[in-house]
Amino acid sequence: MNIPRSSFPRIVIIGGGFAGIALAKKLSKKEVQVVLLDKNNYHTFQPLLYQVSTGGLEPDSIAYPIRKILQDYPNFFFRMAKVQQVLHDEKVLVTNIGKLSYNYLVVAAGSETNFFGNFEIEKNAMAMKSIPQSLNLRSMILENFEQALLTDDLHERDALMNFVIVGGGPTGVELAGALAEIKKGILPKDYPDLDTRRAQINLIQSGDRILKEMSEEASIKAEDFLERLGVQIWKNTRVTGYDGKTVLTKTDLVFEAATLVWAAGVKGASIKGLDMEEVVVPGNRIKVNEFNQLIGYPEIFAIGDIACMHTDELPSGHPMMAQPAIQQGRHLGENLLNLIENKPMQPFIYEDKGSMATIGRNKAVADLKNYRFQGVFAWFVWMFVHLFFLIGFRNRMVVFVNWVYNYIRFDREARLIIRPYRRDYSLFRDRKKT
Ligand SMILES: Cc1cc2nc3c(=O)[nH]c(=O)nc-3n(C[C@H](O)[C@H](O)[C@H](O)COP(=O)(O)OP(=O)(O)OC[C@H]3O[C@@H](n4cnc5c(N)ncnc54)[C@H](O)[C@@H]3O)c2cc1C
Protein backbone atom coordinates (compact mmCIF):
# COMPACT_ATOMS: atom_id res chain seq x y z
CA MET A 1 0.00 0.00 0.00
CA ASN A 2 3.08 2.19 0.02
CA ILE A 3 2.59 3.47 3.59
CA PRO A 4 5.92 4.42 5.20
CA ARG A 5 7.01 2.78 8.43
CA SER A 6 6.78 5.09 11.41
CA SER A 7 7.96 5.15 15.01
CA PHE A 8 4.38 6.10 15.95
CA PRO A 9 1.75 3.41 16.52
CA ARG A 10 -0.37 2.76 13.43
CA ILE A 11 -4.14 3.14 13.77
CA VAL A 12 -6.06 1.80 10.80
CA ILE A 13 -9.66 2.98 10.37
CA ILE A 14 -12.03 1.07 8.07
CA GLY A 15 -14.62 3.53 6.74
CA GLY A 16 -14.74 7.27 6.06
CA GLY A 17 -18.33 7.79 7.20
CA PHE A 18 -19.49 9.96 10.10
CA ALA A 19 -17.70 7.84 12.70
CA GLY A 20 -14.42 7.28 10.82
CA ILE A 21 -14.00 10.94 9.86
CA ALA A 22 -14.79 12.17 13.39
CA LEU A 23 -12.14 9.80 14.76
CA ALA A 24 -9.52 10.70 12.15
CA LYS A 25 -10.01 14.41 12.88
CA LYS A 26 -9.57 13.79 16.60
CA LEU A 27 -6.29 11.96 15.98
CA SER A 28 -4.88 14.62 13.67
CA LYS A 29 -1.61 16.25 14.69
CA LYS A 30 -1.06 13.62 17.40
CA GLU A 31 1.82 11.20 17.71
CA VAL A 32 0.11 8.39 15.82
CA GLN A 33 0.10 7.25 12.21
CA VAL A 34 -3.48 7.14 10.92
CA VAL A 35 -4.44 5.12 7.85
CA LEU A 36 -8.02 5.52 6.68
CA LEU A 37 -9.38 2.98 4.18
CA ASP A 38 -12.64 3.39 2.32
CA LYS A 39 -13.98 1.65 -0.77
CA ASN A 40 -15.02 5.10 -2.07
CA ASN A 41 -12.81 8.19 -2.23
CA TYR A 42 -15.63 10.30 -0.85
CA HIS A 43 -17.71 10.70 2.29
CA THR A 44 -21.48 10.38 1.78
CA PHE A 45 -23.98 12.50 3.68
CA GLN A 46 -26.65 9.79 3.78
CA PRO A 47 -29.47 11.84 5.36
CA LEU A 48 -29.88 13.73 2.07
CA LEU A 49 -29.73 10.73 -0.27
CA TYR A 50 -33.50 10.88 -0.74
CA GLN A 51 -33.13 14.38 -2.21
CA VAL A 52 -30.72 13.01 -4.82
CA SER A 53 -33.19 10.23 -5.63
CA THR A 54 -35.96 12.76 -6.18
CA GLY A 55 -33.98 15.33 -8.19
CA GLY A 56 -33.79 17.96 -5.43
CA LEU A 57 -30.00 17.90 -5.18
CA GLU A 58 -27.10 16.87 -7.41
CA PRO A 59 -25.06 13.97 -5.99
CA ASP A 60 -21.87 16.07 -5.77
CA SER A 61 -23.45 18.34 -3.17
CA ILE A 62 -23.82 15.55 -0.60
CA ALA A 63 -20.46 13.86 -1.25
CA TYR A 64 -17.05 15.17 -0.24
CA PRO A 65 -13.52 13.93 -1.11
CA ILE A 66 -12.01 12.20 1.92
CA ARG A 67 -8.52 13.33 0.93
CA LYS A 68 -9.63 16.97 1.07
CA ILE A 69 -11.19 16.62 4.53
CA LEU A 70 -7.88 15.49 5.97
CA GLN A 71 -5.29 16.97 3.60
CA ASP A 72 -3.69 19.25 6.19
CA TYR A 73 -3.11 16.49 8.72
CA PRO A 74 0.43 15.14 9.07
CA ASN A 75 0.87 11.38 9.67
CA PHE A 76 -2.41 10.77 7.88
CA PHE A 77 -2.76 8.40 4.92
CA PHE A 78 -5.82 7.58 2.85
CA ARG A 79 -6.11 4.60 0.54
CA MET A 80 -9.13 3.81 -1.57
CA ALA A 81 -9.48 0.14 -0.72
CA LYS A 82 -12.17 -2.38 0.03
CA VAL A 83 -11.33 -4.34 3.16
CA GLN A 84 -11.93 -8.02 2.49
CA GLN A 85 -10.75 -9.69 5.66
CA VAL A 86 -9.29 -9.06 9.10
CA LEU A 87 -6.57 -11.51 10.17
CA HIS A 88 -6.75 -10.61 13.85
CA ASP A 89 -4.14 -13.12 15.02
CA GLU A 90 -1.56 -11.50 12.71
CA LYS A 91 -2.95 -7.94 13.14
CA VAL A 92 -3.20 -7.65 9.37
CA LEU A 93 -5.94 -6.49 7.00
CA VAL A 94 -6.48 -8.01 3.57
CA THR A 95 -7.82 -5.56 0.99
CA ASN A 96 -8.29 -5.46 -2.78
CA ILE A 97 -5.06 -3.41 -3.07
CA GLY A 98 -2.90 -5.48 -0.73
CA LYS A 99 -2.27 -6.23 2.92
CA LEU A 100 -1.72 -3.79 5.76
CA SER A 101 -0.57 -4.37 9.32
CA TYR A 102 -1.94 -2.40 12.27
CA ASN A 103 -1.28 -1.74 15.92
CA TYR A 104 -4.87 -0.69 16.52
CA LEU A 105 -7.81 -1.35 14.24
CA VAL A 106 -11.04 0.68 14.25
CA VAL A 107 -13.98 -0.74 12.33
CA ALA A 108 -16.28 2.09 11.19
CA ALA A 109 -17.74 0.36 8.15
CA GLY A 110 -21.35 1.42 8.80
CA SER A 111 -24.34 -0.60 7.73
CA GLU A 112 -26.03 -2.06 4.68
CA THR A 113 -29.65 -2.60 3.66
CA ASN A 114 -31.26 -5.51 5.49
CA PHE A 115 -33.61 -7.55 3.29
CA PHE A 116 -34.06 -10.05 6.14
CA GLY A 117 -33.02 -12.94 3.91
CA ASN A 118 -35.66 -12.35 1.22
CA PHE A 119 -33.56 -12.74 -1.96
CA GLU A 120 -36.48 -12.08 -4.29
CA ILE A 121 -37.07 -8.67 -2.75
CA GLU A 122 -33.33 -7.99 -2.69
CA LYS A 123 -33.13 -8.73 -6.43
CA ASN A 124 -36.09 -6.63 -7.50
CA ALA A 125 -36.38 -3.79 -5.00
CA MET A 126 -34.47 -0.52 -5.00
CA ALA A 127 -32.28 0.33 -2.01
CA MET A 128 -31.14 3.83 -1.06
CA LYS A 129 -27.97 3.46 0.96
CA SER A 130 -25.39 4.99 -1.39
CA ILE A 131 -25.08 7.66 -4.07
CA PRO A 132 -25.03 5.16 -6.99
CA GLN A 133 -28.21 3.54 -5.59
CA SER A 134 -29.87 6.95 -5.28
CA LEU A 135 -28.95 7.79 -8.86
CA ASN A 136 -30.41 4.46 -9.98
CA LEU A 137 -33.62 5.29 -8.19
CA ARG A 138 -33.72 8.79 -9.70
CA SER A 139 -33.29 7.37 -13.19
CA MET A 140 -35.83 4.66 -12.60
CA ILE A 141 -38.53 7.03 -11.35
CA LEU A 142 -38.09 9.26 -14.40
CA GLU A 143 -37.80 6.34 -16.84
CA ASN A 144 -41.06 4.94 -15.48
CA PHE A 145 -42.86 8.16 -16.37
CA GLU A 146 -41.27 8.23 -19.84
CA GLN A 147 -42.46 4.65 -20.29
CA ALA A 148 -45.92 5.35 -18.88
CA LEU A 149 -46.34 8.00 -21.55
CA LEU A 150 -45.74 5.45 -24.29
CA THR A 151 -48.10 2.70 -23.28
CA ASP A 152 -51.80 2.60 -24.06
CA ASP A 153 -52.41 -0.18 -21.53
CA LEU A 154 -53.97 1.45 -18.47
CA HIS A 155 -52.96 -1.40 -16.19
CA GLU A 156 -49.32 -1.12 -17.23
CA ARG A 157 -49.42 2.67 -16.99
CA ASP A 158 -50.79 2.58 -13.45
CA ALA A 159 -48.15 0.07 -12.38
CA LEU A 160 -45.40 2.28 -13.82
CA MET A 161 -46.75 5.23 -11.83
CA ASN A 162 -47.20 3.28 -8.60
CA PHE A 163 -44.40 3.80 -6.06
CA VAL A 164 -44.38 1.48 -3.09
CA ILE A 165 -42.06 2.39 -0.23
CA VAL A 166 -41.51 -0.22 2.45
CA GLY A 167 -40.51 1.12 5.85
CA GLY A 168 -42.10 3.97 7.77
CA GLY A 169 -38.89 5.24 9.37
CA PRO A 170 -37.40 8.65 8.51
CA THR A 171 -36.05 7.43 5.14
CA GLY A 172 -39.40 6.05 3.97
CA VAL A 173 -41.33 9.04 5.28
CA GLU A 174 -38.99 11.60 3.70
CA LEU A 175 -38.96 9.82 0.35
CA ALA A 176 -42.75 9.46 0.32
CA GLY A 177 -43.18 13.17 1.07
CA ALA A 178 -40.74 14.18 -1.69
CA LEU A 179 -42.43 11.93 -4.27
CA ALA A 180 -45.84 13.34 -3.32
CA GLU A 181 -44.54 16.85 -3.90
CA ILE A 182 -43.17 15.85 -7.30
CA LYS A 183 -46.54 14.39 -8.20
CA LYS A 184 -48.29 17.58 -7.21
CA GLY A 185 -45.93 20.26 -8.46
CA ILE A 186 -43.76 18.85 -11.23
CA LEU A 187 -45.39 15.93 -13.03
CA PRO A 188 -48.42 17.82 -14.35
CA LYS A 189 -46.08 20.38 -15.96
CA ASP A 190 -43.51 17.85 -17.26
CA TYR A 191 -46.07 15.37 -18.55
CA PRO A 192 -49.14 17.37 -19.61
CA ASP A 193 -50.17 14.53 -21.91
CA LEU A 194 -50.17 11.93 -19.10
CA ASP A 195 -52.84 11.66 -16.40
CA THR A 196 -50.37 11.95 -13.53
CA ARG A 197 -53.23 12.23 -11.03
CA ARG A 198 -53.29 8.42 -11.25
CA ALA A 199 -49.73 8.21 -9.85
CA GLN A 200 -49.72 6.61 -6.40
CA ILE A 201 -47.35 6.73 -3.47
CA ASN A 202 -47.93 3.89 -1.02
CA LEU A 203 -46.01 3.79 2.24
CA ILE A 204 -46.05 0.42 3.98
CA GLN A 205 -45.18 0.01 7.62
CA SER A 206 -45.13 -3.29 9.49
CA GLY A 207 -45.91 -1.69 12.89
CA ASP A 208 -48.87 0.32 14.07
CA ARG A 209 -47.29 3.73 13.57
CA ILE A 210 -44.77 5.45 11.31
CA LEU A 211 -41.62 7.06 12.79
CA LYS A 212 -41.84 4.60 15.65
CA GLU A 213 -38.50 5.72 17.10
CA MET A 214 -39.95 9.19 17.63
CA SER A 215 -42.73 10.40 19.94
CA GLU A 216 -46.34 9.45 19.26
CA GLU A 217 -47.06 13.13 18.68
CA ALA A 218 -44.48 13.21 15.86
CA SER A 219 -45.88 10.00 14.32
CA ILE A 220 -49.45 11.32 14.28
CA LYS A 221 -48.42 14.65 12.80
CA ALA A 222 -46.18 13.05 10.15
CA GLU A 223 -49.04 10.77 9.17
CA ASP A 224 -51.35 13.75 8.88
CA PHE A 225 -48.81 15.65 6.73
CA LEU A 226 -48.32 12.68 4.43
CA GLU A 227 -52.03 12.03 4.01
CA ARG A 228 -52.60 15.67 3.17
CA LEU A 229 -49.99 15.26 0.44
CA GLY A 230 -51.88 12.27 -0.93
CA VAL A 231 -49.62 9.46 0.34
CA GLN A 232 -51.48 6.26 1.19
CA ILE A 233 -50.19 4.75 4.43
CA TRP A 234 -50.63 1.05 5.15
CA LYS A 235 -49.86 0.18 8.75
CA ASN A 236 -49.59 -3.30 10.31
CA THR A 237 -48.75 -4.56 6.84
CA ARG A 238 -45.72 -6.74 6.18
CA VAL A 239 -44.36 -7.14 2.64
CA THR A 240 -43.54 -10.76 1.88
CA GLY A 241 -42.56 -10.75 -1.79
CA TYR A 242 -41.85 -8.68 -4.88
CA ASP A 243 -41.05 -10.11 -8.29
CA GLY A 244 -40.47 -6.75 -9.97
CA LYS A 245 -44.13 -6.18 -10.74
CA THR A 246 -46.36 -7.45 -7.89
CA VAL A 247 -45.92 -6.60 -4.22
CA LEU A 248 -47.30 -9.29 -1.93
CA THR A 249 -48.11 -8.73 1.72
CA LYS A 250 -48.94 -10.92 4.70
CA THR A 251 -52.39 -9.33 4.90
CA ASP A 252 -53.20 -10.37 1.30
CA LEU A 253 -53.03 -6.79 0.12
CA VAL A 254 -51.47 -6.74 -3.38
CA PHE A 255 -49.91 -3.82 -5.24
CA GLU A 256 -49.03 -3.78 -8.92
CA ALA A 257 -45.96 -1.54 -8.97
CA ALA A 258 -42.90 -1.06 -11.15
CA THR A 259 -41.00 0.45 -8.23
CA LEU A 260 -40.55 -0.86 -4.73
CA VAL A 261 -38.15 1.04 -2.51
CA TRP A 262 -36.91 -0.99 0.42
CA ALA A 263 -36.30 1.27 3.42
CA ALA A 264 -37.34 -1.31 6.00
CA GLY A 265 -34.09 -1.87 7.82
CA VAL A 266 -30.32 -1.93 7.99
CA LYS A 267 -27.76 -4.33 9.41
CA GLY A 268 -24.11 -3.96 10.24
CA ALA A 269 -21.73 -4.19 7.27
CA SER A 270 -20.11 -7.62 6.95
CA ILE A 271 -16.36 -7.88 7.48
CA LYS A 272 -14.83 -11.34 7.11
CA GLY A 273 -12.66 -12.27 10.05
CA LEU A 274 -14.83 -10.28 12.46
CA ASP A 275 -17.74 -12.67 12.23
CA MET A 276 -16.91 -14.67 15.36
CA GLU A 277 -19.97 -15.96 17.21
CA GLU A 278 -19.03 -14.18 20.43
CA VAL A 279 -18.61 -10.85 18.65
CA VAL A 280 -21.59 -10.55 16.26
CA VAL A 281 -25.02 -9.76 17.72
CA PRO A 282 -28.44 -9.81 15.98
CA GLY A 283 -28.55 -7.13 13.30
CA ASN A 284 -25.02 -8.17 12.29
CA ARG A 285 -23.50 -5.53 14.56
CA ILE A 286 -20.25 -5.98 16.45
CA LYS A 287 -20.53 -6.19 20.21
CA VAL A 288 -18.31 -3.70 22.03
CA ASN A 289 -17.70 -2.72 25.64
CA GLU A 290 -18.11 0.80 27.05
CA PHE A 291 -14.82 1.82 25.39
CA ASN A 292 -15.99 0.64 21.94
CA GLN A 293 -13.51 -2.22 22.28
CA LEU A 294 -14.19 -5.77 21.10
CA ILE A 295 -14.35 -8.11 24.05
CA GLY A 296 -11.40 -10.51 23.76
CA TYR A 297 -9.66 -8.39 21.09
CA PRO A 298 -8.19 -5.40 22.98
CA GLU A 299 -6.53 -3.84 19.93
CA ILE A 300 -9.74 -3.82 17.84
CA PHE A 301 -12.50 -1.22 18.22
CA ALA A 302 -15.81 -0.62 16.46
CA ILE A 303 -17.76 2.66 16.22
CA GLY A 304 -20.88 3.99 14.51
CA ASP A 305 -23.65 1.91 12.96
CA ILE A 306 -21.62 -1.30 13.04
CA ALA A 307 -20.98 -1.12 16.80
CA CYS A 308 -23.44 -2.43 19.36
CA MET A 309 -22.81 -1.21 22.89
CA HIS A 310 -25.42 -2.61 25.24
CA THR A 311 -26.31 -0.29 28.10
CA ASP A 312 -29.10 -0.34 30.69
CA GLU A 313 -30.89 2.51 28.90
CA LEU A 314 -30.20 1.11 25.42
CA PRO A 315 -30.27 -2.71 25.60
CA SER A 316 -30.13 -3.03 21.80
CA GLY A 317 -27.31 -0.54 21.42
CA HIS A 318 -27.29 3.06 20.23
CA PRO A 319 -29.57 4.10 17.38
CA MET A 320 -28.01 3.66 13.95
CA MET A 321 -27.83 7.40 13.35
CA ALA A 322 -25.24 10.05 12.63
CA GLN A 323 -24.99 11.49 16.17
CA PRO A 324 -23.93 8.27 17.98
CA ALA A 325 -21.42 7.66 15.16
CA ILE A 326 -19.88 11.14 15.43
CA GLN A 327 -19.82 11.09 19.24
CA GLN A 328 -18.27 7.61 19.36
CA GLY A 329 -15.64 8.63 16.80
CA ARG A 330 -14.60 11.69 18.82
CA HIS A 331 -14.65 9.81 22.10
CA LEU A 332 -12.60 6.91 20.80
CA GLY A 333 -9.98 9.38 19.54
CA GLU A 334 -9.39 10.50 23.12
CA ASN A 335 -9.45 6.94 24.44
CA LEU A 336 -6.91 5.70 21.90
CA LEU A 337 -4.52 8.47 22.89
CA ASN A 338 -5.10 7.53 26.56
CA LEU A 339 -4.42 3.89 25.77
CA ILE A 340 -1.18 4.69 23.95
CA GLU A 341 -0.05 6.89 26.86
CA ASN A 342 -0.99 4.15 29.36
CA LYS A 343 -3.74 6.28 30.87
CA PRO A 344 -7.15 4.80 31.75
CA MET A 345 -9.83 4.90 29.04
CA GLN A 346 -13.14 6.65 29.77
CA PRO A 347 -16.52 4.98 29.12
CA PHE A 348 -18.61 6.38 26.27
CA ILE A 349 -21.70 8.30 27.35
CA TYR A 350 -24.16 9.14 24.61
CA GLU A 351 -25.74 12.57 24.56
CA ASP A 352 -29.09 12.17 22.81
CA LYS A 353 -29.78 15.41 20.94
CA GLY A 354 -33.10 14.14 19.56
CA SER A 355 -34.33 13.32 16.10
CA MET A 356 -36.14 14.94 13.22
CA ALA A 357 -37.80 14.05 9.95
CA THR A 358 -39.03 16.25 7.13
CA ILE A 359 -42.13 15.42 5.18
CA GLY A 360 -42.00 18.19 2.64
CA ARG A 361 -42.23 21.90 2.09
CA ASN A 362 -42.89 23.62 5.46
CA LYS A 363 -43.56 20.25 7.05
CA ALA A 364 -41.28 18.50 9.53
CA VAL A 365 -41.43 16.91 12.94
CA ALA A 366 -38.80 17.38 15.63
CA ASP A 367 -38.30 15.65 18.98
CA LEU A 368 -35.42 17.53 20.55
CA LYS A 369 -34.04 16.96 24.03
CA ASN A 370 -36.46 19.29 25.80
CA TYR A 371 -38.89 20.33 23.05
CA ARG A 372 -41.18 18.68 20.58
CA PHE A 373 -42.56 20.66 17.70
CA GLN A 374 -43.91 20.18 14.20
CA GLY A 375 -44.61 22.25 11.11
CA VAL A 376 -42.79 25.21 9.58
CA PHE A 377 -40.44 25.91 12.49
CA ALA A 378 -39.42 22.24 12.66
CA TRP A 379 -38.75 22.37 8.92
CA PHE A 380 -36.41 25.37 9.30
CA VAL A 381 -34.60 23.68 12.20
CA TRP A 382 -34.27 20.50 10.10
CA MET A 383 -32.71 22.48 7.24
CA PHE A 384 -30.34 24.36 9.52
CA VAL A 385 -29.14 21.17 11.25
CA HIS A 386 -28.53 19.37 7.95
CA LEU A 387 -26.64 22.33 6.50
CA PHE A 388 -24.54 22.52 9.66
CA PHE A 389 -23.50 18.87 9.53
CA LEU A 390 -22.77 18.79 5.78
CA ILE A 391 -19.03 18.67 5.16
CA GLY A 392 -17.50 21.47 3.10
CA PHE A 393 -18.36 25.13 2.58
CA ARG A 394 -19.11 24.61 -1.12
CA ASN A 395 -21.55 21.79 -0.40
CA ARG A 396 -23.35 23.87 2.21
CA MET A 397 -23.64 26.78 -0.22
CA VAL A 398 -24.80 24.57 -3.12
CA VAL A 399 -27.40 22.80 -0.97
CA PHE A 400 -28.61 26.10 0.51
CA VAL A 401 -28.93 27.77 -2.91
CA ASN A 402 -30.73 24.70 -4.30
CA TRP A 403 -33.18 24.68 -1.40
CA VAL A 404 -33.93 28.39 -1.75
CA TYR A 405 -34.36 28.00 -5.50
CA ASN A 406 -36.58 24.92 -5.13
CA TYR A 407 -38.65 26.69 -2.48
CA ILE A 408 -39.23 29.81 -4.54
CA ARG A 409 -39.76 28.01 -7.85
CA PHE A 410 -41.59 24.91 -6.53
CA ASP A 411 -39.07 22.96 -8.56
CA ARG A 412 -36.45 20.15 -8.51
CA GLU A 413 -34.25 20.65 -11.51
CA ALA A 414 -31.92 17.66 -11.13
CA ARG A 415 -34.52 15.36 -12.67
CA LEU A 416 -32.07 13.98 -15.18
CA ILE A 417 -31.59 10.47 -16.54
CA ILE A 418 -27.80 10.72 -16.80
CA ARG A 419 -27.12 7.04 -16.27
CA PRO A 420 -30.16 5.05 -17.35
CA TYR A 421 -31.24 2.28 -15.03
CA ARG A 422 -31.81 -0.88 -17.00
CA ARG A 423 -35.20 -2.37 -16.28
CA ASP A 424 -37.03 -5.05 -18.20
CA TYR A 425 -40.38 -3.49 -19.05
CA SER A 426 -41.48 -6.64 -20.87
CA LEU A 427 -42.38 -8.01 -17.43
CA PHE A 428 -45.45 -5.78 -17.49
CA ARG A 429 -46.31 -6.53 -21.11
CA ASP A 430 -46.17 -10.28 -20.40
CA ARG A 431 -48.80 -9.81 -17.71
CA LYS A 432 -51.10 -8.21 -20.30
CA LYS A 433 -50.91 -11.31 -22.49
CA THR A 434 -51.62 -13.80 -19.69
C1 LIG B 1 -31.22 7.20 3.37
C2 LIG B 1 -30.67 7.42 4.75
C3 LIG B 1 -31.12 8.49 5.51
C4 LIG B 1 -30.62 8.71 6.79
N5 LIG B 1 -31.07 9.80 7.50
C6 LIG B 1 -30.55 10.05 8.71
C7 LIG B 1 -30.94 11.21 9.45
O8 LIG B 1 -31.80 11.99 8.99
N9 LIG B 1 -30.36 11.44 10.66
C10 LIG B 1 -29.43 10.59 11.17
O11 LIG B 1 -28.89 10.85 12.25
N12 LIG B 1 -29.03 9.50 10.51
C13 LIG B 1 -29.57 9.21 9.31
N14 LIG B 1 -29.17 8.10 8.62
C15 LIG B 1 -28.23 7.16 9.27
C16 LIG B 1 -26.81 7.68 9.21
O17 LIG B 1 -26.48 8.08 7.89
C18 LIG B 1 -25.87 6.58 9.69
O19 LIG B 1 -26.25 6.26 11.01
C20 LIG B 1 -24.42 7.03 9.67
O21 LIG B 1 -24.02 7.24 8.34
C22 LIG B 1 -23.53 6.01 10.34
O23 LIG B 1 -22.21 6.44 10.26
P24 LIG B 1 -21.02 5.39 10.15
O25 LIG B 1 -19.77 6.19 10.12
O26 LIG B 1 -21.18 4.34 11.16
O27 LIG B 1 -21.25 4.68 8.75
P28 LIG B 1 -21.30 5.28 7.28
O29 LIG B 1 -21.57 6.73 7.29
O30 LIG B 1 -22.23 4.40 6.53
O31 LIG B 1 -19.83 5.06 6.74
C32 LIG B 1 -19.29 3.80 6.52
C33 LIG B 1 -18.15 3.92 5.53
O34 LIG B 1 -17.47 2.67 5.47
C35 LIG B 1 -17.15 2.38 4.14
N36 LIG B 1 -17.02 0.93 4.03
C37 LIG B 1 -17.97 0.00 4.31
N38 LIG B 1 -17.47 -1.25 4.13
C39 LIG B 1 -16.20 -1.09 3.75
C40 LIG B 1 -15.15 -2.01 3.40
N41 LIG B 1 -15.33 -3.33 3.46
N42 LIG B 1 -13.97 -1.50 3.03
C43 LIG B 1 -13.75 -0.18 2.98
N44 LIG B 1 -14.70 0.74 3.29
C45 LIG B 1 -15.89 0.28 3.68
C46 LIG B 1 -18.30 2.98 3.34
O47 LIG B 1 -17.90 3.25 2.00
C48 LIG B 1 -18.62 4.24 4.13
O49 LIG B 1 -17.91 5.35 3.63
C50 LIG B 1 -29.65 7.85 7.33
C51 LIG B 1 -29.18 6.77 6.56
C52 LIG B 1 -29.70 6.56 5.28
C53 LIG B 1 -29.20 5.40 4.47
Interval 247-266: pLDDT, tens:
999 998 999 999 999 999 99
Q: The whole model's pTM is what?
A: 0.95
pLDDT in tens, 350-392: 999 999 999 999 999 999 988 999 999 999 999 999 999 998 8
Task: Look at residue 427 in the predicted model and tell me its pLDDT.
Answer: 60
Q: pLDDT for 49-71, tens place per residue?
A: 999 999 999 999 999 999 999 88
Between CA 56 and CA 54 the distance in angstroms is 6
Mutational test site, ligand 1, from 133, 321, 384, 389, max ligand atoms within 8 Å of CB: 321
pLDDT over 70 at 429, yes or no:
no
pLDDT value for 278: 86
Nearest in space to 391 (alpha carbons), one of 322, 324, 327, 336: 322
pLDDT in tens, 11-31: 999 999 999 999 999 998 899
Give residue 110 CA to ligand 1 midpoint distance, Å.
Answer: 5
Is the CB of 14 within 6 Å of ligand 1?
yes
Q: Does the pLDDT value for residue 139 go beyond 90?
A: yes
Residue 434 has pLDDT above 50, yes or no: no
Q: According to the model, what pLDDT value does residue 423 have? A: 63
The type of residue at 425 is Y
From the list 411, 357, 382, the residue with the least C-alpha distance to 182 is 411
Q: Which residues are catalytic?
A: 174
% of the chain at pLDDT higher than 90:
88
**Ligand 1: distance of its center to the CA of 201 in Å?**
26
57 lines ligand 1 (CB under 6 A): no
What's the pLDDT tens digit per position in 385-418? Answer: 999 999 888 899 999 999 998 888 888 888 999 9
Do 283 and 308 form a contact (C-beta atoms < 8 A)?
yes
| Residue 382 near residue 356 (C-beta atoms within 8 A) | yes
* Residue whose CA is at the smallest distance from ligand 1 atom 33: 15
Distance 257 CA to ligand 1 centre (A): 28
At position 11, the amino acid (one-letter code) is I
Is residue 326 predicted with pLDDT exceeding 90? yes
pLDDT-based confidence at residue 428 (cuts at 50, 70, 90) = low
Fill in the amino acid letter for 48: L
Q: Cα(152) to centroid of ligand 1, in Å? A: 42
pLDDT for position 22: 97
Per-residue pLDDT, 407: 85
Nearest CA to ligand 1 atom 19: 321
More confident residue, 413 or 327: 327
From the CB of 16, is ligand 1 less than 6 Å away? yes
The CB of 226 under 6 Å from ligand 1? The reply is no
